[in-house]
Amino acid sequence: MPHFIAKASSLPLPFCAGEYHFHEEFIHTQFPKQSLILVTFKDEPFLIKKVPHQKGMLFKAHKAARPSPVGILKDALGHLSKFCDVITHNLSKNSPKQSVQSPYLLSAKDFLTQQFSCYFLEIGFGSGRHILDLAQKHPNTPVIGIEIHTPSIEQVLRQIQILDLKNLYITKVDARILSNILPSNSARGIFLHFPVPWNKKPHRRVLSPSFLSQAFRILQKNDTLHLRTDDEEYFQDALKLALSAKHASFEVHKNLTQGIISKYEARWQKQNKNIYDIFFHCLQNSPPLSLAKNFPLPYHRDFFPSTQKILEEDFFVHVQACYESKNCIMLHINFGDFHAPFTSFVLVDHLVQKTSFLGQDIIPTEANLKAYERLKSIFGGSK
């Protein structure tokens, strides 16, 4: 990822450079040599981390609040580097594809404000061969792809432009979280092809009882969730999951020929590995989904920041780190479901007397809503 290392820095915060606004530096309350620099680009906030390095200070994006595409980050670091004695960097000049924000890259907020219906959903599209073919074969149907691997996302976004596709949308939102907010009876099909098996850490799998329940809610009646895997242990566990459902209709296939073959699947076929398919059929329509959309947090002048961890049976809240500037407090918080945690930053601004989530609001899953209620009590307290 883009970064630079400097022997010394003298940042004239706050300052503006083009469409970038560099606001202020927040010092870690436990490790004062570490800090976060709050930056906005076209009103979208992100954070640059400043940490000690054996050669000086390392400047890079905070992985939980990183902008996309990568060119936005490179330009921001380039502006900061002008006020630093830089030793080394990897801030090569941006190509056009690295700097343009694609309208086909969606955030969680987009799924809360836009209504998607009658679409295909693919989870973990990798190189993009299947999802690109799907979008080309169904030009009048929206196709949504979920992927956490940034190079794969950027590769498919380039193909969207090259192929002039108007119906393919990409997001980095965790599928286990996104499935909680997509409308009921809205998907024509869900594809989960060759997911990471996580056999030693099955709690990290996308496919679980709760996800399967959400998938059936999202799917239109008689449509399917298609699982395809080369991992026999994963297949056996998925089969047990299908059999454990109170009402189930599913098909099982072994070494079924597919029209589109990924490079990994081609490799496994050469190794004579078995490939398994399970088609989970949705048997009924589901009631409409109603979501909360506003998540205000209380402001108190005497709020005292501290790291803390709250563990309940079905949710948690972990204030992971606290940062302070002259007039503000920033908290790095993980919360929600143990198996699909949500990460956010909360800004307590004493100048405008307001407490708010930085950037996007929380995604209103059941676990997140319970954690939000506990967060309100944290910010409503005093020292």
Pairing verdict, β 219-229 and 187-193: parallel
The C-alpha atoms of residue 189 and residue 121 are separated, in whole angstroms, by: 6
How far apart (Å, rounded) are the C-alpha atoms in residues 144 and 147? 10
Give per-residue pLDDT as tens, 72-82: 999 999 999 99
- Is 230 annotated in a binding site? The answer is yes
Burial 275-297 (b: 16+ CB within 10 A, else e): bbbbbbebeeebeebeeeeebeb
Q: How many residues does the chain have?
A: 383
Mean pLDDT by 10 residues, the chain (383 residues): 94 96 97 97 94 96 87 94 96 64 86 88 95 97 94 92 96 92 96 95 93 96 96 97 89 90 81 93 93 88 88 96 95 94 94 90 89 91 45
Question: Is the domain 102-281 a CATH 3.40.50.150 member?
Answer: yes
Closest-CA residue to 337 (of 178, 219, 149, 110): 178
Which pLDDT score is estimated for 302? Answer: 86
- Ligand-binding annotation for 200, yes or no, is yes
CA distances from 192 to 106, 157, 206, 270, 321 (A): 19, 20, 9, 22, 35
Indicate the helix (H) or strand (E) that contains 270.
helix 263-270
Would you call 30 helix, strand, or coil by DSSP? coil
Whether 231 has a binding-site annotation, put simply, is no
pLDDT of residue 230: 93
Q: How far from the centroid of its chain's Cα atoms is residue 214's Cα?
A: 18
- CB-based burial label for 171 (10 Å; 0-12, 13-18, 19+): buried
- Give the pTM: 0.82
349 known member of a binding site:
no
What does the domain layout of the chain look like in residue ranges? 3-98, 102-281, 308-379
324 is an annotated ligand-binding site residue: no
Residue type, 319: V
- Residue 97: predicted pLDDT: 55
pLDDT of residue 382: 44
